[in-house]
Structure 1
């Protein structure tokens, strides 16, 4: 394998020297420009093919997820506008990633020019991150600069891609004449969209708060045209590329972002008071969901060529699929934290009731127990200073009273043990403090900490919203699994594939139907405060995997009887390339030696 010094543009071959080899440690200077053509083939000219992503491609993928992590850290999904903000920003970086990837799949070769272009593309990703902190679903006076910045960055990235295609067209125009027309169309598309993004720079103003949606029309136009032209232009097709590998790796990295949310949950739930059985159940619910999500996706990844139209559908469906993963990850995190908060509030209610149960404990002992219960919650009061003052005020008032217990429950509501007004006030502010401590905040200028129960109602509304969009996103994710299974034909035989896809559709319908419980708030609250809600999606995916396993067993049984033809069982995500033994033979021994030496240099 070649090695290179740090920050060096020179590589050296470390292969053991033989009599017929070029001398070892021969330097290979990285060229200013490199041809994308395969220099070692004796067949008709073709682009160099790779089965795996290069390190610089993986590095670019990391920048996309870093953008996503930065955006998630500065935006909370607490209403429908926040959801559309996520969709908008992720769409910007995802479709930019797609266009860069479509170029890298076929034309990326190590050269000083390509490294310079990659620096420019990485800089665009950094620019996206800087503007993402102010991105929202509506344009206003405070964030109009962010939309203008994004428009300039989008334009610059498309012009850079057009330049890269022009340079590679210069290399292939003589040997791959059939690809020239398609390359001109792709270059024209990127120039056209680049100009369009520049024009949109002038249209962003608060009076047109949703004009940025036009971006998605341009995203769809350029991706459909580039993929279609590529697939039907001889010489630059996507069939023999590692598109499946790149998309699978990006999916893996996005699922990895889900893993990061698990560590956040553990840090918030366990760091203060240590592990409990409840916290273990909550964390394991998220962990099993992440694992089965990975398993469910890679189990139906393409294993062979499956047609140009199917490939285009499969590629574009990954954007909504990735959005479902991202949004469900955020919702799952909130639901897990809400479960932990509900347990702490249950302990608080039990403590206040214990203070007034017969035989009643001493008032000092009861108040000390109440204070210790709140202290054990490990509330971060730096995020809830007003609630801290309100809680201390209630506790101070209770210490100054001669009787802390209520004589009767006048409203008919569930008794707090202590006087109902004080119980509501204390419980409301503790609830707000717990949510704020967990990083789940609301912006409501009409509410104050003295109106704790009003805040509680707002948080309950937030949880109901999270409940609805969680089951919508996981249901849509299962729907994507059904479509992927149909496109990739995981099982041998039409009926086996139909059963697999049909069962996934049924599971998707069952998951989405869970939102019907939202009409009954009491039922929804009981469901949300039970650990089973974190296992619903994972149990559904487990059922799908078991059905697939059963179908595999039945298919193997049919195969052994000779009723079903055997299908390749490889699980590689790399595309299967056509094999032609005659075309792979070298004309003579010298060509083979030259090919080996060239491989060592690369």
Structure 2
């Protein structure tokens, strides 16, 4: 390790440990009550590499979760918000410790390795997050992962308490934080048993309640105890770095969307170019609105705590805005392709004429040449076309086969652009299936309007 200590004190130089109210070096036998009141911590002026690396784990987690869970229903939106809440408050708990008490030692590096492992665990659980009815196992594992994260933080705060025990001002707040972490770990363990016994699926609500209380307790203690405050720390920089990383993730998503459009449509129209320019301008304006109003210099303690906690709804809205912008860009192309099917769907109501069958067959082959699909789906559509071409099916069977072909075409188009189509059953009405698609589009536009609240909130910073 090249001289790296096993454990290092978070305090600054030994001559400053007696506090600002003591002049010179006081004798250890003194009875002066001002002794050991104001510890001086060694604060970093900028985000360290290992802390920035931890921030990247956050965004990588969010990106992988978004790729697996397309926001195409209110349930998926709730799942996205729930996972983001767990991810953000886990990041916040680690960050609140790092900006005040982090040191460079063997045990601290081991602790950060554990936090990286927690983020990897969240990435593994992400695809199975809140997936009924087989989601009991992942929920139990997630509870144990959160418990492990709090146990590591408990040990980190314990090491800080060990080095600062002589300072009376640090005992109560540090012990209070450790108690909150201990209670949180016990709650997470208890919730894991609820999932193990399959007794209460909604027990995951305890995650959010505990996470908010934990961070609230930490910020309240920082506002009332000078030894726990964020003065002269780089908390502002950590939050601005995460904001910048989320904006960068939005740019990555935008470039992926552009590549996807180019792959399937092979060209960009003037409307496409206008939409892309608008998406880039939205991200750039968000960047300007936020960073033009950020104060890097210290400000009031209460305002700092409020400013910090308000970054949770801000970051959530920002992530949703990025996702909504990309989905609207895709939505324009999906709607354009689906609109081409309207004359064909209208023509199907006039019966199985030779012209209609020829047009339908040509559309099927065009769609499956452009968009990827499985051989089973292609065979099912070809079988339906064969049944329609024979002309020996009843009127009801003919309608069913026509709807099946259209349904599979629409499903293939939507899936090709990266959206998850609505679930359908063999007996479901075709109109209900179309209504399900319209609901996806409506939800997409609804998410995008969150950007207005993001713009307003960012101006308040």
Q: TM-score, normalised by structure 2?
A: 0.82
Within 5 Å, give how 1:439-454 maps onto structure 2.
Answer: 439-447=418-426, 454=432
Partner of 2:52: 58
Kindly tell me: are residues 105 and 384 of structure 1, through their superposed partners in 2, closer, same or farther at Cα, counting changes over 3 Å? farther
Kindly tell me: are residues 292 and 392 of structure 1, through their superposed partners in 2, closer, same or farther at Cα, counting changes over 3 Å? farther
Contact 2:247–2:283, Cα closer than 8 Å, also in 1: yes
Within 5 Å, give how 1:15-94 maps onto structure 2.
Answer: 29-39=3-13, 44=20, 45-94=39-88
Equivalent in 386, 399, 406 of residue 377 of structure 2: 386
Contact 1:128–1:150, Cα closer than 8 Å, also in 2: yes
Deviation of residue 193 (structure 1)? 1.4
Partner of 2:444: 466
Distance, in Å, in 1 between the alignment partners of 2:368 and 2:270 is 16
Distance, in Å, in 1 between the alignment partners of 2:194 and 2:457 is 35
Residue 457 in 1 paired to residue 438 in 2?
A: no
Contact 1:424–1:453, Cα closer than 8 Å, also in 2: no
Kindly tell me: are residues 198 and 350 of structure 1, through their superposed partners in 2, closer, same or farther at Cα, counting changes over 3 Å? closer
SS of structure 2 residue aligned to 1:210: helix
Partner of 1:477: 454
How many aligned residue pairs are there?
A: 427
* More displaced 10-residue stretch of structure 1: 112-121 or 367-376: 367-376
Contact 2:46–2:237, Cα closer than 8 Å, also in 1: yes
Residue 326 in 1 paired to residue 319 in 2?
A: yes
Residue 214 in 1 paired to residue 206 in 2?
A: yes
Contact 2:61–2:122, Cα closer than 8 Å, also in 1: yes
Distance, in Å, in 2 between the alignment partners of 1:213 and 1:59 is 29
Kindly tell me: are residues 345 and 146 of structure 1, through their superposed partners in 2, closer, same or farther at Cα, counting changes over 3 Å? closer
* More displaced 10-residue stretch of structure 1: 331-340 or 35-44: 35-44
Residue 268 in 1 paired to residue 260 in 2?
A: yes
Distance, in Å, in 2 between the alignment partners of 1:376 and 1:62 is 38
Residue 337 in 1 paired to residue 330 in 2?
A: yes
Partner of 1:15: none
RMSD, matched Cα: 3.4
Kindly tell me: are residues 388 and 452 of structure 1, through their superposed partners in 2, closer, same or farther at Cα, counting changes over 3 Å? farther
Residue 280 in 1 paired to residue 280 in 2?
A: no
Partner of 1:515: none
Distance, in Å, in 2 between the alignment partners of 1:451 and 1:388 is 22
Contact 1:166–1:187, Cα closer than 8 Å, also in 2: yes
Contact 1:384–1:437, Cα closer than 8 Å, also in 2: no
Equivalent in 203, 226, 241 of residue 218 of structure 2: 226
Within 5 Å, give how 1:379-458 maps onto structure 2.
Answer: 379-382=370-373, 386=377, 389-390=380-381, 429-447=408-426, 454-458=432-436
Which ranges of structure 1 fall in alignment gaps of 5 or more residues?
1-8, 11-28, 355-362, 402-419, 486-602
Contact 1:106–1:241, Cα closer than 8 Å, also in 2: yes
Partner of 1:314: 307
User: What whole-Å deviation, never above 9, does each CA across 1:470-494 have from its counterpart, x for those lacking one?
Assistant: 32x2233234225x33xxxxxxxxx
Distance, in Å, in 1 between the alignment partners of 2:379 and 2:72 is 23
Deviation of residue 150 (structure 1)? 1.3
Residue 258 in 1 paired to residue 235 in 2?
A: no
SS of structure 2 residue aligned to 1:229: helix
Which ranges of structure 2 fall in alignment gaps of 5 or more residues?
21-38, 348-354, 392-398
Kindly tell me: are residues 104 and 475 of structure 1, through their superposed partners in 2, closer, same or farther at Cα, counting changes over 3 Å? same
* More displaced 10-residue stretch of structure 1: 218-227 or 203-212: 203-212
SS of structure 1 residue aligned to 2:279: helix
User: What whole-Å deviation, never above 9, does each CA across 1:222-278 have from its counterpart, x for those lacking one?
Assistant: 111111112322233112211111011111112222122212211210124133333
Kindly tell me: are residues 214 and 392 of structure 1, through their superposed partners in 2, closer, same or farther at Cα, counting changes over 3 Å? same
* More displaced 10-residue stretch of structure 1: 452-461 or 332-341: 452-461
Distance, in Å, in 1 between the alignment partners of 2:105 and 2:451 is 43
User: What whole-Å deviation, never above 9, does each CA across 1:143-165 have from its counterpart, x for those lacking one?
Assistant: 11111111111111111111111
Within 5 Å, give how 1:464-543 maps onto structure 2.
Answer: 464-471=442-449, 473-482=450-459, 484-485=460-461
Equivalent in 274, 286, 290 of residue 297 of structure 1: 290
Kindly tell me: are residues 89 and 345 of structure 1, through their superposed partners in 2, closer, same or farther at Cα, counting changes over 3 Å? closer
Distance, in Å, in 2 between the alignment partners of 1:63 and 1:215 is 20
Contact 2:12–2:41, Cα closer than 8 Å, also in 1: yes
Deviation of residue 51 (structure 1)? 2.2
Contact 1:317–1:480, Cα closer than 8 Å, also in 2: no
Contact 2:7–2:108, Cα closer than 8 Å, also in 1: yes
Q: TM-score, normalised by structure 1?
A: 0.64
Equivalent in 160, 163, 170 of residue 171 of structure 1: 163
Distance, in Å, in 2 between the alignment partners of 1:64 and 1:47 is 27
Distance, in Å, in 1 between the alignment partners of 2:426 and 2:441 is 18
Deviation of residue 53 (structure 1)? 0.5
Kindly tell me: are residues 383 and 78 of structure 1, through their superposed partners in 2, closer, same or farther at Cα, counting changes over 3 Å? farther
Residue 240 in 1 paired to residue 232 in 2?
A: yes
Contact 2:65–2:123, Cα closer than 8 Å, also in 1: yes
User: What whole-Å deviation, never above 9, does each CA across 1:28-47 have from its counterpart, x for those lacking one?
Assistant: x1111111122287684511
SS of structure 2 residue aligned to 1:203: helix
Kindly tell me: are residues 153 and 123 of structure 1, through their superposed partners in 2, closer, same or farther at Cα, counting changes over 3 Å? same
Contact 1:52–1:242, Cα closer than 8 Å, also in 2: yes
Kindly tell me: are residues 159 and 425 of structure 1, through their superposed partners in 2, closer, same or farther at Cα, counting changes over 3 Å? closer
